[in-house]
Amino acid sequence: MPLDRIFDRLGNLLRALLNDGMRGAPLNDKRRRDAHQDPYLKEAWDELNAYLNDEPSSKDRQEGRASGDHQDQKDRGHREKEDLKQDYANLEVPFGAAFEEVKKSYKRLLRIYHPDKNSNSPEKLQLATEITKKLNDSFNRIKKYEKAH
């Protein structure tokens, strides 16, 4: 759930409370009880608790959302990091190595496994083609990640 929605709700609540206070009437017990019945307060409180506990709010459940955007982003980031670790391993460099080191290892491995160098038997050619494809994919993902960050 984006923080913007939480801040919008809290802003609406503060405006409602400030407008009541500006009218000059002190908050008596009845008005305090009514404030707890305020739909903005209930929604804002529910959304804030759900966000802090990484669980869907009642509004999210009503709208059919299984989990908040925050958890999805964490999961996506974790999967991306695990994929990148495998890509670095495919290129035989430590995770987080400098891009120049990645590039050097990529070129070295391509010289070893290039299909043209392994065309003397169909099995070796097929294996070299698969390895080259894996190397290319890994290098391109690391390159894309480096450009994005």
pTM of the full structure: 0.50
| Cβ-based neighbours of 113, under 8 Å, separated by 6 or more | 128, 131, 132, 135
81-140: pLDDT as tens digits: 888 999 999 999 999 899 999 999 999 999 999 998 888 889 999 999 999 999 999 999
Q: Which domains does the chain have, with CATH numbers?
A: 3-67 (no CATH), 78-148 (1.10.287)
Q: Which amino acid is at 113?
A: Y
